[in-house]
């Protein structure tokens, strides 16, 4: 990765270790860089077309966030999912839109991968949200949730496998094309993370050695991508070491092999991929009879009612029975016990913990054995009958 001497995203030093004074300078420069970066990102362009291209994605993302909040507050789950998936798709499409060819300094700890790969992945992730959400009413909400999760696992596994393979190929090509390089110093930068106390921050200084080397009479200065480390850095300034250089990119140098990290990435990717495949295999066995409830900013919303059928009833009632759909017309206490009156003119004595379960206006499936013994009650707001028995009183 090319070393830019004036790029404020990192701090250049010839000290393999970081003392307190240098640490303060790195943190301060990092803060200044963030301010400059935000200013450049949000600052106006010279032309109308440039401003449209810069601010349109920001505006669309802002609108999407507002819509997500509105849909969540109003319990509009399908719209929420479609918007969420749409954001991924828009970001994916943006990767394929040709832009102005300007040399942008690469930031540390990033690797070169073809833009088509993250673009296609983003679109696929978006479709993995939208398609199950659209198919859920017919396919089953629980099945769709498992299928969508399986798709995300498979896509994530494949993406990181491809990412790792690209890294292996780049390293393999570079290892066959070696040069002698001299360590001229180190880039250092801040990695920050919040402590449990949100008013304080922990700052970790990471870095990588910068090498100077020549290829066909041309001198280059670069550091290894994806190789930021903490602690004392090696080799020391002035040391001559063997470097692998990618034949198609003279700034792609490799000093540390990072074999363990590459193997771990591949293994983790395969585990994620396997988990997705297992979830896909489980989709046909998922039972959608349990209903489907989603928590939103506006509270719980039921997307699918739980189902009860003849087998469910047979667990509690062995003889013949009737099923009637009624509504609660009144609720009161009788001798200290909660009682409700039903639209069929009959009453229903409740248990104390059921006092608030059947408010006036609530619809109920009443399953009553013909022998007059205790029956079953299912609130129509939460349950629907999926058996073959006749149900009287349905609207």
The reply to whether 284 and 369 lie within a common domain is: no
Phi/psi at 136 (5° precision): -55, -45
Is 247 inside a domain boundary?
Answer: no
In whole angstroms, give the CA distance from residue 205 to residue 23.
7
Look at residue 194 and tell me if it is in a domain.
no
Tens digit of pLDDT for each residue in 365-380?
999 999 988 889 999 9
Q: How many structural domains are present in the chain?
A: 2
How far CA 179 is from CA of 112, 166, 242, in Å, comes to: 21, 22, 6
In a domain, 340, yes or no: yes
State which residues form the domain around 88: 44-175+257-289
**62 with 132, same domain?**
yes
The answer to whether residues 58 and 143 belong to one domain is yes
169 with 272, same domain: the answer is yes
CATH code (residue 318) = 2.40.50
Contact in structure between 145 and 304 (CB atoms under 8 Å): no
pLDDT in the model for residue 99: 60
Are 49 and 151 part of one and the same domain?
yes
Q: Reduce the DSSP state of residue 386 to 3 states and report it.
A: coil
Query: 378 and 263 in one domain?
Result: no
Q: Does residue 17 form part of some domain?
A: no
Q: 133 and 72: one domain?
A: yes
**The predicted structure's pLDDT at residue 196:** 44
Contact between 114 and 254 under an 8 Å Cβ cutoff? The reply is: no
The pTM of the full predicted model, rounded to 2 decimals, is 0.78
**Residues 318, 274 share a domain:** no
Residues constituting the chain: 395
The low-confidence residues of the chain, meaning pLDDT below 70, are 99-104, 111, 192-201
Is 36 domain-assigned? no
Q: How far apart are CA 395 and CA 375, in angstroms?
A: 22
Residues 48, 143 within the same domain? yes
Q: Do 268 and 319 belong together in one domain?
A: no
Is the residue at 324 inside a domain?
A: yes
Do residues 335 and 264 share a domain?
A: no
In a domain, 6, yes or no: no
What pLDDT, on a 0 to 100 scale, did the predictor assign at position 197?
47
Q: Domain check: are 268 and 318 in the same one?
A: no
The pLDDT of residue 100? 59
The C-alpha atoms of residue 183 and residue 242 are separated, in whole angstroms, by 11
What is the pLDDT, as a whole number, of residue 57?
Answer: 83
| Domain presence at residue 55 | yes
């Amino acid at each position: 990765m090319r070393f830019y001497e004036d790029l404020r995203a990192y701090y250049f030093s010839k000290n393999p270790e970081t003392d307190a004074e240098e640490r303060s300078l790195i943190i301060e420069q990092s803060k200044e860089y963030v301010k400059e970066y935000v200013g450049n990102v949000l600052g106006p362009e010279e032309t109308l077309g440039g401003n449209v291209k810069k601010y349109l994605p920001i505006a669309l993302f802002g609108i999407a966030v507002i819509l997500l909040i509105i849909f969540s507050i109003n319990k509009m789950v399908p719209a929420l999912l479609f918007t969420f998936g749409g954001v991924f798709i828009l970001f994916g499409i943006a990767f394929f839109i040709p832009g102005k060819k300007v040399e942008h300094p690469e930031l540390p700890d990033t690797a070169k991968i073809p833009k088509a790969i993250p673009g296609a992945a983003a679109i696929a992730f978006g479709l993995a949200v939208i398609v199950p959400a659209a198919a859920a009413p017919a396919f089953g909400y629980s099945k769709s949730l498992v299928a969508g999760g399986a798709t995300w696992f498979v896509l994530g596994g494949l993406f990181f496998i491809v990412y790792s393979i690209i890294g292996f190929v780049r390293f393999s090509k570079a290892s066959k094309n070696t040069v002698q390089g001299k360590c001229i110093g180190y880039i250092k930068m801040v990695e920050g993370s919040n402590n449990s106390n949100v008013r304080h921050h922990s700052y970790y200084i990471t870095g990588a050695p910068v090498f100077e080397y020549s290829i066909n009479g041309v001198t280059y200065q670069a550091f290894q991508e994806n190789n930021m480390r903490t602690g004392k850095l090696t080799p020391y300034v002035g040391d001559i070491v063997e470097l692998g250089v990618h034949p198609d990119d003279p700034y792609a140098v490799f000093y540390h092999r990072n074999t363990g990290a590459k193997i771990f990435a591949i293994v983790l990717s395969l585990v994620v991929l396997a988990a997705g495949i297992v979830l896909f295999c489980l989709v046909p066995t998922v039972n959608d009879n349990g209903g489907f409830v989603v928590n939103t900013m506006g509270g719980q919303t039921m997307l699918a009612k739980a189902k009860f059928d003849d087998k469910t009833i047979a667990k509690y009632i062995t003889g013949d029975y009737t099923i009637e759909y009624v509504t609660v017309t009144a609720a009161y206490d009788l001798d200290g016990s909660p009682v409700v009156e039903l639209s069929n003119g009959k009453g229903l004595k409740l248990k104390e913990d059921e006092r608030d379960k059947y408010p006036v206006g609530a619809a109920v499936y009443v399953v009553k054995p013909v022998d007059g013994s205790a029956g079953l009650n299912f609130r129509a707001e939460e349950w629907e009958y999926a058996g073959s028995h006749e149900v009287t009183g349905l609207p």
